[in-house]
Amino acid sequence: MRSIFGVLVTALLVVGCTGSTSSAAPAASAPAPAASASGAGAFGGAVQFKYHGQAATTTVDAVADGTSVSGTAVTQIGSGTHTVQLGCAAQSGDMWAVGGKTEKSNVEGGRAGDWSAVIMKLGSPAKIGIWVSEDASTASDCDAWLKAVDLPTLDLTGFETVESGTLTPPAGLVP
C-alpha cells in the first residue's frame, strides 16, 4: 500500500501512480557516498514550509554526474524525521523530483526500504510534495519507480507552498 507524507495527502492516493507490480525483491545497494555541498554536479539546498501548521524543512544534499544520483534528502516535521538515500532524478516541464530508498523514518507512513521522493513544482510560489512511502516491490529500480510517478499528472492540491529557501535540481535533467 502506498503511504504518502501529508504534503501529498490523499491527492496522490487517488491520482496515484501506476507502477509495475514486479514481485521480485529489489537488489540491495551499497550506501550512497556522502554528497558534497560544492563541486561539479552538486545540487540541493533546503526549503521551509508549513505542514498542518507545523514548521517543516526538507534538505537535499546530493551530486549527479549525468548518469547517476547520490546523496540524501531529509524531511523534518515537528519531532519526525524522514531520511532517503537518493538514487534517481526526473523532470517534466516545471516539475522535478529526486527519489530513492527510505533509510529511516519516524514520520507517519514512512518505512525503511520503501521508495520515496521529494517533488518540486517550480514557480511563484514554489510548491513541495514529499512521497513518503511506496512498497519497494512496485519497481525494479529507482529510475523505473520515479518514472512511473508520472509528474505531469500529479494533483497539486496536496502540495505545500515553500515559505523560504531553495532546492536546486540536478543539472542536465531533460524536461
Residue given cell 496515484 in the structure block = 16
Residue 41 bridge partners (DSSP): none
Q: Is the pLDDT of residue 166 over 80?
A: yes
Q: Are 3 and 133 a contacting pair, CB within 8 Å?
A: yes
Give the whole-number percent of the chain exceeding pLDDT 70: 76
Q: What is the pLDDT of residue 37?
A: 43
Give the whole-number percent of the chain exceeding pLDDT 90: 62
Supply 158's cell numbers.
496536496
Instruction: Give the domain ranges of the chain.
Output: 9-13+43-165
- The pLDDT tens digits for 119-144 are 999 999 999 999 999 999 999 999 99
- The pLDDT tens digits for 8-44 are 432 232 222 323 332 222 233 333 333 334 456 899 9
If you average pLDDT over every residue of the chain, what do you get?
Answer: 80
Q: Is the pLDDT of residue 118 over 50?
A: yes
Phi-psi region of 58 (alpha: psi -120 to 50; beta: other; left: phi over 0): beta
**What whole-number distance in Å separates Cα of residue 93 and Cα of residue 15?**
19
**What whole-number distance in Å separates Cα of residue 45 and Cα of residue 31?**
21
* pTM for the model: 0.78
Q: What's the whole-number mean pLDDT along residues 142-162? A: 92
Backbone angles phi, psi at 126, to 5 degrees: -70, 150
